[in-house]
Structures are given as structure tokens and as C-alpha cells.
Structure 1
Amino acid sequence: MTQTNDEQQTGRVLVVDDNARARQSMADVLRHARHEVFACSSGREALQLLDTEAIDVVVTDLQMPGMTGLELIRALEARKFDGQVVMVTAFATVEAAVDAMRHGAFDFIEKPFDAEQLEQLVGRALRQGGRDHARSQILSAVPDWHGLMVGQSEPLATLRRRIAQVAPTDETVLITGESGTGKELVARCLHAASRRATGAFVGLNCPALSPQLMESELFGHEKGAFTSADAPRVGRFELADRGTILLDEITEIDMPLQAKLLRVLQEKTYERVGSSQSRTTNVRVIASTNRDLRLEVTQGRFRQDLYYRLAVVLLEVPPLRHRLSDVPLLVNHVAGQVAGRLNREPAQFSKSALDLLCHYHWPGNVRELENLVTRASVLASDQPISADDLQDWLLEGEPVAKSSLPAEANPLSAGTKLEDMERKLIEATLDHYDGHRAKAAQALGIGIRTLTNKLRLYGYAPRAKVFARVA
């Protein structure tokens, strides 16, 4: 890219159009604006030229025989083309524009247009390309996302491979998994491995907000929009522009707001609460849930159309009991973090302690392990932590392999379905704590609200002893 003395940014532009007159007209306009211009009559010819020429901006018609403009854009995305793409169409629709931008197009322009409109759009694309190039120089400073995930087990290796495949795209991702497995960490890895890595990563914990506050948090509000709106507020979508937004536990969003969220995903537009002005957003959306969203859809608690928009790519985070070989690595990692905070040497865990932890079923997953190792590290003496030191902190005081539960109540009995296993574990835990939900939730490594949601999900009705008491 070059700049003239009057600060007008110029570059190398490729015009792709099967109509000779339109192609020549656009090329003349752009040459007059001092760009170096190349012209091709088809998408395939353009791809061949790009093999030998460095191009800053591709201006392509949408409707072309052989390879359409959208197919060309997808091919450029697959090649990781680092320039900008502008789509030209006489058949502009929201769907076509969104689809093109989803695959990397910078913007689109609708025929007929004048020379000034084309010049301005290509100029903006060049300036954006310059910013993207600057960001690419910063990417080396972004921490390697692989280091964010601790473990070497095959389930974790599979998840890493999926993240590496999905992250470079801008597709919406739905992350599923039990509470405490690290769904937010997976979302951060997706962001760190994406081309949005230098942009903002904004999370929203949906269960923590009331339905009244949720819309304002997502989209912002204007002053006076409601009683306590004393000043305008910027929403999470606006904060995450050109970055990534995580909607954690998305099933907690009420049905009316789900409709507004669907519009954002479809049209990339929204309004602040109390405003009629539409705002555009350029955000990658990642959602997470510990529920079966398909079941939520069939039971009428979640919109089917929103589910399909969210579940473009599905990533399932394995529970810790499915990757027990990672436990020693996780223990050492957490112990090292705690030692850094306490400014002392990491606590040492004896072989018996590690054996105990490697045979435990971890109902609270990695979150439970972090809590346990942190507690043990804080209370540790000069001696290595033993199995006896940890035994009382584990559910039922026994690892699964030595559980004294009867076979029909053992969550890890052979042939037990995952859903039944979780249900039995919850029932056994509540029974152990005489129906006290707060204590049961703490032992399971989950929140009371999550426990209550699971009871509702499995259709439990309150009954004596186990489910009667609520903290």
C-alpha cells in the first residue's frame, strides 16, 4: 500500500466482473483514483492471478457464471487471503451481505453506484487492511492459547484440534459441557486463536442477571429508558465490537429476549433500550450451556430458530472423569498458581494423594479440583499432602473405585447412561446431606441455582428428606 502527498491511501486493487463494460468502468474509476488496478472476467481467473500478484482489495461482482462472487469469497477465505473484499451486486439482500461478510467480505455496494461511492468504499477497505496488518504484527504478543489448557489426554487433544479448526472462522459456536469443565476457558481459547485475538473478549454470565437487566446488559440503554437509567449505558455487544462475546449459560435468557438475540445473529443489528436507532455490530458470538438445548427446545423453553443459529459449530468439553490422566498435571498447575499468590514454594502431593485424586469421579469437574488443591495448598505444612489429608474433602469420603454405594446407586455402574448417572449422583449427594441444597451444591462443586435447575430439568418433585429442604 502507498500514500500520495495529499494523504489519499492507494493500493493494488483487483476488479472481478464477467461484464466487460462494468469491469472496464470500475477499473477506470479506480485508476483515476491512482490505484494500481488488475481486472479479471471470472472468479477462477482471479484466483490464478492471486497466485502471482499481491492484492490489497478485491472488488467482485456477486452474480457471475461458473464461480459466483460468494464462492470466490469463500475460496479466498480458505486461502487465508489477507486483503479486503468488496462485493458488488444488483440483487442486494441482507442474507447475501451477511453471508459474504461471514466469510470475510469487508462490505458490499449495490448497483447502480457512482464513481465517488466506489472510490470511498475501496478507500475504507484499504484503511481497514492497514489496521488489520498492524494487528497481525501484534499477534505474536498474544499468548499461545494451547498453554491455557492444561492436560495431555486424548479427549483434550481432540478438543484442541477442534478449536484449531474452528477458531480462524467467524462462525457462531455453541460450547456444551457439565458445570465446572471449563467452558469459558474454551471460549477464551477460541478468541485467542482467532483473527479477533487483539479485539475485546466480553463475557456475560446470564444466570447472574434478572430478565429486566439482561436486555440492558446485552444492548445498552439510553438515559431515561427506565426509572434507574440516569445515564446512557454501553451494552456488551457494543463493547465487544470487532471482538468476541460469550453468552455463558444461554438457557437463562427469557423467550422474549431470545427473539431479539436472534435478530442480532441474523442481521447484525440491535437497538439500545429506549432507542429506535438501529446499531450494527461486528461480533463473533459464542454461547455455552450445561443443559441439553435440544431438550430445552422440545419442552418449549428455548427457541428452535435461535438454537439453529447458535449451534453452527458444536464443541463439547469433556468432564474431568473422562480425562483422569490429566489430574496430576492439573494438580501441579493449580498448586503452582496458589504458590505464586502466597509467595511460597508449591505444595507437594504424595503418591497416595495423587492416586486418590486420579480415582475420584470429580462431580464438580476442574472447578472442584481447583477448590480442593487451593484449600490443601493454603493449609499445607512442610510435609507432602497425603491421601488422608484429602479424604474428608471428597464426596462420600471415598473415590469411586472404592465406593460403598449399592450397585443401583453407584453413578459409575457399567451401562449407566450419563443423564442417569448425574441424576443418581445428585440424589445420593442430597441424601448424604439430608436434603440440604447448599451443602450438596458445595460438595458437587456447583452453585445452588445450577443444582435447582438440574432438579427441574430432570423433573424432580420435592419429597421428604432428600428434596424438601432449601437453603
Structure 2
Amino acid sequence: MRYKGRILVVDDEIDIREGLSIFFQKEGYQVDNAENKKEALEHFSKKEYDVVFLDLKLPDGNGLDLLKEFLEINYESQIIVISAYGNIETAVSAIKMGAFDFLEKPFSVYQAKVAVEKAIEKKKLLLENLYLKLSLKEKEEKINFVGEDPKIKQILEKAKIIASTDCTVLITGESGTGKGLLAKKIHEMDLVYKGPFVCVDCGAVVPTLFESELFGHAKGAFTGAQQAKIGKIEFAQGGVLFLDEIANIPLDLQAKLLKVVEEKEFSPVGSLKVIKANVRIIAATNKDLKEEVKKGTFREDLYYRLNVVNLHLPPLRERKGDILLLANYFLKYFCEKYKKPMKIFSPKVLSLFMDYHWPGNIRELKNLIERLVIFSTKEEITEKDLLLAEFEPLVKEKRTEELTKELVTSNGEEIVPVEEIEKQYIIKVLKQLNWNKSLAAKKLGIDRKTLTLKLKKWGYDKQLF
């Protein structure tokens, strides 16, 4: 039976404790119980409870006082107050203090079950609202994972199978190949983890704040921790935790992440309580993790635990059949986004797209199409629009043409030898850089030795550098 949550029963009556424990354990919950205030606080400070049944009359303290302490430790836990001495006034006091519900003894296990299910639903909504308020979830662009290439179709077939399991997934591929979109596609199809999709960009988090960002922290855990913070793992409860650029996780935290993957539990920074991590972990990287393991920057055991299923996304240059499909998809998307009439690409533009090698992959294509939609004023997108949108091949071509034109004009000739063009350009660069050969070689994309030989050949070897 799938794990549903964790419950704490606090009551001095053994029949109540055992009755609720046996019933809810059969329902798929993990249950602890305590007969007094001291035991209850010991449990509550060490574990994360979704729901607490709290008796108002305890042998060593008042239940309302304990309710206040519970909520100060973890206000997300839903407290169901129970009492044989209950009345409307007591119930109102408990609810005003933050209790979720009030049950008067005697009550049936089915009444308790309904209350627990509602409480857990309330906690889920609370986490979702907190997530939005703290702006921890980026506004999702409604861009789908698109592709008709046989390699992509095979990956999507595997993703459908994965969606019916609870396994971890490692997505690999060059930067810009769509690893994040594939992770969202898996979540979209997920039959097990239907909760939120929470992304952590491991390359963007400050190393010193990484542990707190991922695991959360308790109040007073470190200087400046004036209040408790919920980590990204907890926000992802019941859903998917997507760890993008996983190779950037600090080595000293990889052991703690390994525990999350292996044992499905973690503790916030500065806290002894253990929280169940009911999440699917999907990791992604553009690095070779086997090489990172060899270099000692990535734990081997964590690599194998993450790499249960590996989905490798090919670069765009290896799925050329999808280039025009993606270009037209993004064209439609951005025309709708910017409320512009639908446009078309000229045949020459489509040809240039197919010939280009796309080093930035799908991200580069997407960003280019967005610029084209923004800058183009006519229905058909032409080479002129590509140049305005800074399409790399045309920009380079324009620079070469401008240089040639400049040299032809300055020499008063219709045709200038290629070597002369090269010589004058190199000398021009050197003059701009105060004849710094090392810097000039770097800017020109050649080594210093090659530059020195060329200058010697042209009679510039006596020049002071």
C-alpha cells in the first residue's frame, strides 16, 4: 500500500492510541503515539507529522498549551483536537489557536478518517499557497515538448512507461536540448506523483545557501534564520522535484541528497525532525557524470541511484527533421503571445535554418524565433529579418562583406587578393590593440606563433610590440 502520510496520536487512554494506530496503519499511514505532553514533544521535534490527534486533557499538561507549542514548531501540521470534556467554547478556543478540527469523544474511526483526509488536503493547499506567495515556482510557459524524430518518439515511449512507476530519472544532453521540458512532460503523464512540479536550478543557487534552499531550515538554525523556511523538497511533496544541472550540487551535500533518494526522508537544517520525502526525483545535466565521478567531484553512489533510467536528448543538429517543425511551432506560439498576425517563413529562411548547425540547440532556435516575431513587420519573415534578429551566420557574412568593401574602397581596386585583405585586417586589429600580439591573436582566433610568422612574412617583424 502506498504511503499516505504520518500521524501522531496524543492521548492518555491506551484504547484510543491503539485503536487509531491500528486503523490508520492499515489505511497506509505511518503512526506514532504518545500518552503525555513530554512524549508528544519528543516525537514532534524529531519527525514531520501531517496530522496530530491531540487530547485536551493530559496527565502532565493542558492540551491547548501543547497545541500552541506544536504550531510554533511546525505550523503546517494539522491538529485535530479530541476531548471527552469538549464543549463549544473549548472547540472555538482550539480552532482560534490554529487547530484544524475538533472531535468530541466518543467518535468512530470513520469520523477520524474523514477528518484526516480533509486535514491532509488542507496541508497540500497550504503548501501550494505558500509556494506561490514566496515566488518559488516560476511562471510556466505553455511550451510543449515537441518532436517527430524517431529518437524523440522513442524517448517519449520510455517516458510513458516511467510515468507509471516511482523510479528516479536522469536526463542528459547538451545545453538547450529541452531537458526541462522533458521533465515536465514526464510529470504531465505521471500516474504516481501528481502533485506540484518543483524545479531547482543547481547552477544558479549560491553554494552557501544550497542546503537551506533544498532542505529548508529551522528557526534559529544559523545567523539570520529568524523564521523557519520550507525547502524545495517539501514543496514538491506528492509531485516531482526536478534538479537541473545536478553536477553543480556541492560535494558535501551529495550525501544528504543520497539519503533523500535512497531512504525517502530528510531533515531541515538545524532540526532533528525527520520528514518523509514523498517525491519523484528527476535530475538533468549537460555534463558527463561518469567523468565527474572520476574527477572526484560527484559521488559514484549518488550517480548510480539517480541513473536508474537515463534519457539522453540528442542535439538539434542530429534531429534535423524537427528543425522546421519546431520553428513553425515557436512561430505560432510567439505570434499568439505577442498578439501578432500569423506569419510565414520565406523558402530562403527555411533553407538557412536547415543548413545551420544550432550550437545552442532548441533554446537558440526558440530565442531567435521570438526576436523574429518581435522585429518583423511583414507577413513573410525574410533574410532581412534574420539579420535584424542577429542570426549568427548572416551576421558573420555581413561583417565579412563590410570588411571586403572597406578594403576595396581604400585601395581603389575592384579586386583585392585574399591575403591582402587578411593582412590589412590583422594590421588594423593590431593598431587598435596597441600592437599587443598576444591579445590580437586571441581576438583573431589564431595562436601567437602563427601571427608572428604572418607579420614576419609581411615585413612587420621589426615592429615594436
Structure 1 residue 149, shift from structure 2 partner: 1.9
Matched residue of 1:378: which SS?
A: helix
1:278 is the counterpart of 2:274: yes
1:315 is the counterpart of 2:292: no
1:374 is the counterpart of 2:370: yes
Contact 1:176 1:288 in 2 (8 A): yes
Structure 1 residue 196, shift from structure 2 partner: 4.1
1:165 is the counterpart of 2:142: no
The TM-score with structure 2 as length reference comes to: 0.57
Structure 1 residue 338, shift from structure 2 partner: 1.4
Aligned counterpart for 1:397 among listed residues 388, 394, 400:
394
Partner AA of 1:397 in structure 2: L
Aligned to 2:175: 179
Contact 2:342 2:379 in 1 (8 A): no
- CA spacing shift, 1:394–1:229, aligned 2, 3 Å: same
CA displacement 1:156-188 (0-9 Å, x = unmatched): 111111111212111000000100011011101
Aligned to 2:442: 465
Aligned to 1:266: 262
State how far apart, in whole Å, the 2-side matches of 1:463 and 1:275 are: 56
State how far apart, in whole Å, the 1-side matches of 2:296 and 2:440 are: 26
State how far apart, in whole Å, the 2-side matches of 1:331 and 1:384 are: 14
Aligned to 2:32: none
Contact 1:338 1:346 in 2 (8 A): no
1:122 is the counterpart of 2:26: yes
Aligned to 2:330: 334
Number of residue pairs aligned between Structure 1 and Structure 2? 288
Structure 1 residue 281, shift from structure 2 partner: 1.3
Contact 2:171 2:310 in 1 (8 A): yes
Q: Judge which range, 240-249 or 328-337, deviates more.
A: 328-337
State how far apart, in whole Å, the 2-side matches of 1:221 and 1:286 are: 23
Matched residue of 1:209: which SS?
A: coil
Partner AA of 2:145 in structure 1: M
Stretches of structure 2 lacking an aligned partner (at least 5 in a row): 7-17, 30-109, 122-141, 397-428, 430-438, 446-465
Aligned counterpart for 1:299 among listed residues 295, 302, 306:
295
Q: Judge which range, 187-196 or 118-127, deviates more.
A: 118-127
Matched residue of 2:303: which SS?
A: helix
- CA spacing shift, 1:147–1:159, aligned 2, 3 Å: farther
- CA spacing shift, 1:264–1:354, aligned 2, 3 Å: same
CA displacement 1:208-264 (0-9 Å, x = unmatched): 111111100100011222222121100011000111100000111111000110111
- CA spacing shift, 1:463–1:248, aligned 2, 3 Å: farther
- CA spacing shift, 1:465–1:147, aligned 2, 3 Å: closer
Aligned counterpart for 1:220 among listed residues 216, 223, 231:
216
State how far apart, in whole Å, the 2-side matches of 1:467 and 1:179 are: 26
State how far apart, in whole Å, the 1-side matches of 2:180 and 2:218 are: 30
Matched residue of 1:231: which SS?
A: coil
State how far apart, in whole Å, the 2-side matches of 1:390 and 1:180 are: 20
Structure 1 residue 322, shift from structure 2 partner: 1.2
Aligned-pair identity in percent equals: 40
Aligned to 1:79: none
1:361 is the counterpart of 2:357: yes
Contact 2:247 2:298 in 1 (8 A): yes
The TM-score with structure 1 as length reference comes to: 0.56
State how far apart, in whole Å, the 2-side matches of 1:356 and 1:396 are: 9
State how far apart, in whole Å, the 2-side matches of 1:309 and 1:164 are: 21
Contact 2:145 2:178 in 1 (8 A): no
Partner AA of 1:230 in structure 2: Q
State how far apart, in whole Å, the 1-side matches of 2:191 and 2:443 are: 50
CA displacement 1:260-280 (0-9 Å, x = unmatched): 101111111211111122211
State how far apart, in whole Å, the 2-side matches of 1:164 and 1:280 are: 26
- CA spacing shift, 1:247–1:356, aligned 2, 3 Å: same
CA displacement 1:375-394 (0-9 Å, x = unmatched): 11111122411235325733
CA displacement 1:55-106 (0-9 Å, x = unmatched): xxxxxxxxxxxxxxxxxxxxxxxxxxxxxx2xxxxxxxxxxxxxxxxxx576
1:153 is the counterpart of 2:149: yes
Aligned to 1:243: 239
State how far apart, in whole Å, the 2-side matches of 1:361 and 1:398 are: 15
| Deviation beyond 4 Å, 4+ runs, structure 1 | 104-108, 114-117, 124-131
Stretches of structure 1 lacking an aligned partner (at least 5 in a row): 1-84, 86-103, 109-113, 135-145, 400-433, 435-461
Contact 1:346 1:377 in 2 (8 A): no
Aligned to 1:229: 225
- CA spacing shift, 1:382–1:389, aligned 2, 3 Å: closer
Contact 1:201 1:245 in 2 (8 A): yes
Contact 2:193 2:279 in 1 (8 A): no
Matched residue of 1:355: which SS?
A: helix
Structure 1 residue 463, shift from structure 2 partner: 11
Partner AA of 2:368 in structure 1: L
Partner AA of 2:260 in structure 1: V
- CA spacing shift, 1:244–1:467, aligned 2, 3 Å: farther
Contact 1:155 1:322 in 2 (8 A): no
Aligned to 2:191: 195
State how far apart, in whole Å, the 2-side matches of 1:206 and 1:464 are: 36
Q: Judge which range, 230-239 or 117-126, deviates more.
A: 117-126
State how far apart, in whole Å, the 1-side matches of 2:23 and 2:117 are: 17
Contact 1:223 1:232 in 2 (8 A): yes
Aligned to 2:207: 211
State how far apart, in whole Å, the 2-side matches of 1:280 and 1:467 are: 56
State how far apart, in whole Å, the 1-side matches of 2:273 and 2:5 are: 21
